[in-house]
Amino acid sequence: MGSYIARRLALLVPVLIGVSIITFMLVHLLPGSALDIIIGVDQQMTVEQRAQLRHEYGFDAPLPVQYVKWANHVLHGDLGASLRSKRPITTELRLRLPVTFELTMLAAVLGGGPAIVFGVIAAVKRNSWMDYLATFITLFGVAMPSFWLATLLVLVFALKLHWLPPIQYVKFTDNPVDNLRHMLLPAIALGASLAATIMRQTRSAVLEVLGQDYVRVARAKGLRETLVLNRHVLRNALIPIITVLGLQIARLLGGVFIIENIFALPGVGRYTLDAIQSRDYAVVQGVVLVLAVISALITLVVDVLYGVIDPRIRVG
């Protein structure tokens, strides 16, 4: 297992290099100039002064040279500084990553847990009203845009019913209860599509296992239905469920860009959107690279869990 993890970590290097190159090129292809955002359109500044400023920021160098300089700093643990605020990106990420991490994990728990339970019920009670209800919820969750659901949740539960507080953020260390109350609506909006996907995958996986011969034999031996489900069905159905769950958690990292902006959460998503609007190249490149590392590590954890869930799987 140790050698497998080492190989996977080694394969992560070319992936990150490719992600960094693509991100670097796409960011620099955006219309507009970062220099104009930094200094504004100053009619009093001469051409020579603007050229000097471009040289100080390194914008006058060819793109490959700019990339090599940036990559060299990254290898030394320096993601650079924001062109707009001058603050180190690593400092900003240390402040904002906990917010994004909490939102993502809360969305995964609120979406994944109930989805697995209802998916199992829908499979066991196939063609019943529970199955039809689960199918409807799945289609509704997949088709519903997260930004529309987020807006609807704020209008209904915050502004109309006053059950939950409106757009605001409270640190968990300051007040854990208020923090969870403020994070509940964004977590539900973010985890809705995950719940629909996991429910559909769970139903499909459990139905496939229920049709296996060893399940029929277990029932023929007189084992209780709960024992059959726990020992023979769920254990064998967890592999595809865990796979989809890992992919969906990585996908949630992309959804935080919209949700954090709607709920005004000071996370990585909102930070990145502000950087894109201001052509802050360094911030966009650094955040995308960090998120790529997190996504790759999530995939690695899922692969390792295969061997834990099913001892027949040996990763060598």
Which pair of structure tokens corresponds to residue 279?
Answer: 């052509």
Would you say residue 265 lies in a domain? yes
Which pair of structure tokens corresponds to residue 87?
Answer: 């603050």
Q: Give the torsion through C-alpha atoms of 9, 15, 17, 19, to 10 deg.
A: -130
Would you say residue 297 lies in a domain? no
Beta bridge partners of 81: 88
pTM (global) more than 0.95: no
Q: Which phi and psi (to 5°) does residue 289 adopt? A: -65, -45
Would you say residue 256 lies in a domain? yes
Which pLDDT does position 37 carry in this prediction?
65
CATH number at residue 202: 1.10.3720.10
**Rg of the chain's alpha carbons, rounded to an integer?**
24
Would you say residue 171 lies in a domain? yes
Would you say residue 9 lies in a domain? no
Could you give the number of structural domains in the chain? 1
Which pLDDT does position 314 carry in this prediction?
57
Nearest to 215 by CA among 201, 242, 234, 241: 234
Would you say residue 236 lies in a domain? yes
Nearest to 26 by CA among 274, 288, 291, 293: 288
Q: Which phi and psi (to 5°) does residue 211 adopt? A: -90, 0
Which pLDDT does position 101 carry in this prediction?
92
Decide: 267 and 100 in contact? Cβ < 8 Å. Answer: yes
**Residue linked to tokens 């409270």:** 170
Would you say residue 68 lies in a domain? no
Which pLDDT does position 303 carry in this prediction?
78
Which pLDDT does position 106 carry in this prediction?
92
Per-residue pLDDT of the chain (316 residues; tens, 9 = 90+): 677 677 777 878 888 888 888 888 887 777 666 666 666 655 566 777 777 877 777 777 888 888 888 888 888 888 888 877 888 999 999 999 999 999 999 999 988 888 888 888 888 888 888 888 888 888 887 788 888 888 888 888 888 888 887 777 888 888 888 888 888 989 999 888 888 889 888 888 888 888 888 888 888 888 887 888 887 788 788 888 888 888 888 888 888 888 988 888 888 988 988 888 877 878 888 888 888 888 888 888 887 777 777 666 655 4
Would you say residue 140 lies in a domain? yes
- Show the domain range for 189: 96-269
